[in-house]
Amino acid sequence: MEGLRQKILLATSEEEVKKLVAEGKTYEFASVKTRNSWASAARRKSAGEKYVPTKTEKPKKKARRSR
């Protein structure tokens, strides 16, 4: 499942980006920070920046010391 930000970055046309940003404006409980991240993603997309999704690695747990 992709969030709106990922959908904006993966959009193929400027029209689709505008449609997704407009959709985000209808989200009632989205915070200002979230809305700003959508706008930022749309600006980066319109500037021609390519989005390459990366898989984040979880930090490895340290082994417990035995007593």
pLDDT digits (tens, 9 = 90+) for 1-56: 688 999 988 888 889 999 999 999 899 999 999 999 889 888 888 887 666 666 66
Tell me the C-alpha distance between 67 and 65, whole Å. 6
Cβ-in-10-Å burial (0-12, 13-18, 19+) of 45 comes to: buried
Q: Give backbone dihedrals phi and psi of 64, rounded to 5 degrees, phi first.
A: -75, 145
Q: How confident is the model at residue 65 (pLDDT cuts 50, 70, 90)?
A: confident
Tell me the C-alpha distance between 23 and 52, whole Å. 23
Q: How confident is the model at residue 63 (pLDDT cuts 50, 70, 90)?
A: confident
Tell me the C-alpha distance between 60 and 54, whole Å. 18
